[in-house]
Amino acid sequence: MAVLNEEQSMLRDAAKSWTQEKSPVTAFRKMRDSGVEIGYDAQAWNEMAEMGWAGVIIPEEYGGSAFGYLSIGLILEEMGRNLTASPLIASGVGAASALVLGGSDAQKSEWLPKIADGSVVGALAVDEGAHHAPEKVALAATKSGTGYSLSGAKSFVIEGLAANLLVVSARTSGTPGDKDGITLFLVPADAKGVSRKRLALADSRGAANITFDKVEVGADAVLGAVDKGWDVLEKTLDRVRAALAAEMLGAANQAFETTLDYLKVRVQFGQVIGSFQALQHRAAKMFTDLELARSAVEAALQAIDADSPDVPELVSLSKAKMGDVFHLVSNEMVQMHGGIGMTDAHDAGFYLKRARAAEAAFGSQSYHRDRYARINGY
C-alpha cells in the first residue's frame, strides 16, 4: 500500500466501511437477481455521490474535492473488493477527466458540478468493434449548419444505458485508424437520433450499444479542438484504465483472500487442503504477483497525479500486469474451491466474470503490452 496522506487514509477508511456495510457482495447479488437494467443500485450511487466520491478528481471550483487519482483509486479498490457496481469509473473518472482535460469553461461549468454531485452520469462512447481500438473511429460528424450531425454506432459503452451525458469520439476527417481527424463531442443521451440497446453481460454490469442517427449538436458540443481530439481522448482513457486497474486490484485481492480462507478450513484426506504444498506454492505465487501488481497500479495513479510524462507507459504496464494477475487469481479461485466454486450460490463466479469483463475493457493485456512496447520504441 502506497504511503498515504491524511485525506487519503480517511477516504480509504470511509470506502472500506461503507462498502462492507452498505455494498457487500450480497448487495451485488441482489442487484443482479433483481435484473436492474442499468447494472447498479441507484440508491447506493446516490449515497456514494453524497460522500463526494464522484467529485474526487474534479476541481473545487466545480464542486469537487480535487483529491486526485490515487485517492479515487483507493475508493475503487475497496469497491472492487466487494464488487460494488456503480458508474464511478465511467462518470467520476471518464467523463469528468475528459471535461477537466479538454472542456471549455462553459462546458466545465455546465457539467462538472452535476457529475460531482451525481445528478448527471457521464460515459465514454469510444469503441466500435469487438476489441478496444480507440483510434478506429468511423462514427462520422459532418458539418450541419453551425453545428454537426453525428451518424454511426458505438459498442460496449460502459454505463451507456444509465448515462445522461455521452462523451463521443467522432471522425471529422481522415479514415478509421488515423489519430488525426478525431473530434470529441458532448452529447446528451436523450438527444434526438440517439438510441440505446442494453447489453446483458456476463458480469451483470451496465453497458450498452448506442447508435447515432443524424444526431444534431451545436458547435459548442465540441470538446477540445476539431480534428485534434486524440490527445484528450488518450489522456482520458489512461485515467480510466488506471482507475479500472485499481478496482481490479481490490477484486483480485479479495478473490485471493477468500480463497486463502477456504484453503484454511476445507478438510480432505484428514487435513485442511491448505497444508498441501501443491496449493501452498500456487498461493505463494499469487501473493507475489498481487504485490507486484499493486506496485504497478499505485505507480500509474501516482504518475497521473504528478502529471508525469511517463503516464502512458506506466498505465499500460499496470493494466497489462493487473489483467494477468486478476486472470490468474480468478481462475484459481474457482479451481481451489472445487465444485462449490462452480455454483451460482458462491461468489467465485462473480469474481471470474468481473475479471474477464475488466480485462477486456479499455484494452486487454495484449493491447497494453503492444502499446507499452511501441511507447518504448520497439
Partner 1 sequence: MADFGGGDPEAFRKEVREWVDANFPAELKGRPNPMMREERAKPSEAQEAWRKAVGAKGWGTPTWPSQYGGGGLGTAEARIIQQEFGRAGAYNPIGGMGVMMFGPTLLEYGTEDQKLEHIPPICRGDVQWCQGFSEPGAGSDLAALQTRAEDKGDHFLINGQKIWTSGAQYADWCFCLVRTDTSKKHEGISFVLFTMHQPGVEVRPIKLIAGSSPFCETFFTDVRADKKNLVGPLNGGWTIAKRLLQHERGGLSGAGGGGMGGRSLVDLAREYVGVDAQGRIADPDLRTRVVQHEIEGRSFQQTALRAMLESKGNSGPSAATSIMKNAGTSWMQLRHELTLEIMGHQGLGWEGDAFKPEELGAVRGWLGGKAFTIYGGSQEVQSNIISKRILGLPDLTQHN
Place of cell 468511423: 138
Residue 354 CB, nearest approach to partner 1 (Å):
22
Query: What SS3 class is residue 223?
Result: strand
197 vs 374, which CB is nearer to partner 1? 374
Tell me the CB-side half-sphere exposure of residue 111, using CA atoms within 13 A.
Answer: 30
Residue 237 CB, nearest approach to partner 1 (Å):
19
Ranges of H-type helices in the chain: 6-22, 25-34, 42-50, 69-81, 96-102, 105-116, 230-265, 277-305, 311-337, 348-360, 365-375
143 vs 281, which CB is nearer to partner 1? 281
Cβ 234 vs Cβ 312: under 8 Å: yes
227 vs 305, which CB is nearer to partner 1? 305
139 vs 242, which CB is nearer to partner 1? 242
**Hey, how many other C-beta atoms are within 10 angstroms of the C-beta on 114?**
18
Cα–Cα dist 42/149, whole Å: 32
Residue 348 CB, nearest approach to partner 1 (Å):
18
Return all residues near 310 (Cβ < 8 A) that are at least 6 apart. 303
46 vs 308, which CB is nearer to partner 1? 308
Cβ 297 vs Cβ 251: under 8 Å: no
Q: What are phi and psi of 56, to 5 degrees?
A: -65, -35
Residue 282 CB, nearest approach to partner 1 (Å):
9
Residue 337 CB, nearest approach to partner 1 (Å):
16
115 vs 325, which CB is nearer to partner 1? 325
1 vs 345, which CB is nearer to partner 1? 1
Cα–Cα dist 223/216, whole Å: 15
Residue 264 CB, nearest approach to partner 1 (Å):
7
List residues binding partner 1 (CB under 8 A): 1-3, 260, 263-264, 269-272, 274-277, 279-281, 283-285, 287-288, 291-296, 298-299, 317, 320-321, 369-370, 372-374, 376-378
Residue 316 CB, nearest approach to partner 1 (Å):
8
